[in-house]
Amino acid sequence: MSSDLVSISYVSAAAEPFDDDRLHDLLAQSRRSNHEHDLTGMLLYRRGRFFQVLEGPLDAVDELMTKIRRDPRHTDVRVLLTEHIDDRRFTEWTMGYEPIGIPATPAPEGFRDTFDDLEADDEDASIRAVRELTVWFRARTASDD
Ligand SMILES: Cc1cc2nc3c(=O)[nH]c(=O)nc-3n(C[C@H](O)[C@H](O)[C@H](O)COP(=O)(O)O)c2cc1C
């Protein structure tokens, strides 16, 4: 049922900096597993900080969040937003890596500030940043087709 669909956005801090190899391993592992569990979303990595949006059936998202919270590769997992959604915003699970990625669409003006705003004490600012990054990421993915 569509009402069972949820979206969770969180930020976290890498336990140690991720290089390309580790990011690719995480990406490959996650893509496989998310596909099996009907999960979609996005993961951004910038300077030791992760920002992830996960969407899918409530149980599958909850189960994965439990694993993610325990994952020693990062700490300080902080959920910014949990929403029930009618439609998915991402059709597949993918990952952007700033500063290397993003060949097709330039990062939005203020991308760095937006990323920093995720961690703002001001809740409105951090939720606005979630929305802006989501819109940007979707536009970027669409233009890759
Ligand atoms: C920042 C970050 C994001 C992650 N995202 C996902 C993800 O989207 N899907 C996934 O299956 N695992 C993800 N993982 C890995 C999980 O924490 C966990 O290692 C994985 O689900 C395998 O768990 P299992 O061996 O207990 O099945 C992520 C880990 C980190 C550090």
Q: Report CA 97 to chain centroid distance, whole Å.
A: 11
Give the torsion sign (CA, 119, 61, 28, 104).
Answer: negative
Q: Per-residue pLDDT tens for 8-64?
A: 999 999 999 888 888 889 988 999 999 999 999 999 888 889 999 999 999 999 999
Task: Pick from 35, 65, 67, 90 the residue to mutate for probing ligand 1's pocket: most ligand atoms within 8 Å of its CB.
Answer: 67
Alpha helices in 3-118 (DSSP H): 20-36, 58-70, 111-117
For ligand 1, whether the C-beta of 73 sits within 6 Å is yes
Q: Could you give all domains of the chain from N- to C-terminal order, each with its CATH number?
A: 2-143 (3.30.70.100)
Q: How remote is the CA of residue 15 from the centroid of ligand 1, in Å?
A: 14
The Cα–Cα gap between 109 and 18 comes to 25
Q: Per-residue pLDDT tens for 66-117?
A: 999 999 999 999 999 999 999 999 888 777 665 444 444 556 666 667 888 8
